[in-house]
């Protein structure tokens, strides 16, 4: 059972939400300087509301499942929770959209997982939603690995897609339980595939002084697990706070909402909800829903049995 407190849970989920909302307007752009990225973030915050995307929607669906169904993850039940929240306008990946169509046609979840990509997807969708698993089982290494893997299965059965989720879950867990996430923590993360191992090694040794364009080239910014999780963890490990981590993720370009969301989950887990800069909360769509989901997840940690109300 996790020893993580409500502050770390709320911090991680709000950090992820902030990264998703602030990264989404710039998804698919080229790398820019950090100065320009800071101006982009400032500009985005002038909008009345910043919409969240699939990253947040699926994180909420995973919490629905962990708290409302079973805490050890049943892939078919998790798929139903994803379908219940699914909204086509939230910027889902192309493979994911086709998968949802198959689920709606009544396909078996295991069969559908290899129908779109024959070896399963190695997209970063399983990694971007996995923070609740790291929070729930922080300190329980083997359970995190096992449950993160199961949480990937409805949508990502490719070993690299799964590994991205396992690595990200461990990163959130270590940040939440120690209050720290730097290069040492990054370098110690367990990766099972050559792709993630190489990515983590590159991230652990990449200086914080490189330009965003250099970092993007070295680590990747694509919506696939091994070319986004390392970049997100580099942002989290080398930036002093949540705001800088998100600004740096925006500067990298590419899959900005997801890289910023994963970086935000880790920094927010380490630093708590107070790390959300003043003035952000009222702009983030879904802020109150995420706080409520954090309360439910943290509540189910407290009683040790899962809150199935």
- Minimal distance, residue 192 CB to ligand R7I, in Å: 17
Select the residue interacting with ligand R7I from 7, 10, 53, 221 (CB under 6 A).
53
- Does residue 57 bind ligand R7I (CB under 6 A)? no
Residues whose CB falls within 8 Å of the CB of residue 99, separated by 6 or more in sequence, listed in order: 112, 113, 115, 116, 121, 155
Please name which of 300, 286, 210 lies closest in space to residue 248, comparing C-alpha atoms: 210
**CB of 230 within 8 A of CB of 219?**
yes
123 binds, among Mg ion, ligand R7I, none (CB under 5 to 8 A by kind): ligand R7I
- Does residue 221 bind ligand R7I (CB under 6 A)? no
- Does residue 91 bind Mg ion (CB under 5 A)? yes
- Does residue 253 bind ligand R7I (CB under 6 A)? no
Residues whose CB falls within 8 Å of the CB of residue 61, separated by 6 or more in sequence, listed in order: 78, 81, 82, 84, 85, 129
Total residues at interface with ligand R7I (CB under 6 A): 23
75 binds, among ligand R7I, Mg ion, none (CB under 5 to 8 A by kind): none
11 binds, among ligand R7I, Mg ion, none (CB under 5 to 8 A by kind): none
Select the residue interacting with ligand R7I from 61, 169, 224, 247 (CB under 6 A).
224
3 DSSP assignment = -
Query: CA angle 287-292-298, nearest 5°?
Result: 125
Residue with tokens 């939603």: 129
- Minimal distance, residue 22 CB to ligand R7I, in Å: 13
- Residues contributing to the site for Mg ion (CB under 5 A): 53-55, 91, 255, 257-258
């Amino acid at each position: 059972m996790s020893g993580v407190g409500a502050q770390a849970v709320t911090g991680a989920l709000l950090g992820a939400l902030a990264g998703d909302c602030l990264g989404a307007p710039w998804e698919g752009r080229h790398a820019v300087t950090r100065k320009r990225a800071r101006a982009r973030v400032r500009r985005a915050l002038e909008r009345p509301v910043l919409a969240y995307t699939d990253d947040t929607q699926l994180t909420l669906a995973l919490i629905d499942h962990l708290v409302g169904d079973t805490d050890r993850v049943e892939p078919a039940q998790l798929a139903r929770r994803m379908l219940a929240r699914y909204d086509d306008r939230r910027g889902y990946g192309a493979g994911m959209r086709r998968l949802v169509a198959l689920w709606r046609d009544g396909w078996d979840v295991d069969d559908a997982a290899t129908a779109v990509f024959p070896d399963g997807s190695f997209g970063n969708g399983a990694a971007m939603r996995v923070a609740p698993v790291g929070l729930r089982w922080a300190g329980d290494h083997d359970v995190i690995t096992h449950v993160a893997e199961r949480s990937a299965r409805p949508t990502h059965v490719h070993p690299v897609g799964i590994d991205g989720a396992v690595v990200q879950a461990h990163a959130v867990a270590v940040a939440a339980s120690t209050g720290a996430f730097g290069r040492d923590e990054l370098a110690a993360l367990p990766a099972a595939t050559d792709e993630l191992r190489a990515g983590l090694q590159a991230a652990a040794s990449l200086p914080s002084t490189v330009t965003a364009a250099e970092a993007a080239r070295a680590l990747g910014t694509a919506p696939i697990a091994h070319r986004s999780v390392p970049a997100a963890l580099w942002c989290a490990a080398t930036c002093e706070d949540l705001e800088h981590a998100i600004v740096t993720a925006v500067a990298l370009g590419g899959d900005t909402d997801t890289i910023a969301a994963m970086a935000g989950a880790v920094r927010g887990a380490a630093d708590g909800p107070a790390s959300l800069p003043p003035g952000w909360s009222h702009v983030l769509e879904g802020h109150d829903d995420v706080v409520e989901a954090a309360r439910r997840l943290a509540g189910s940690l407290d009683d040790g049995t899962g809150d199935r109300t």
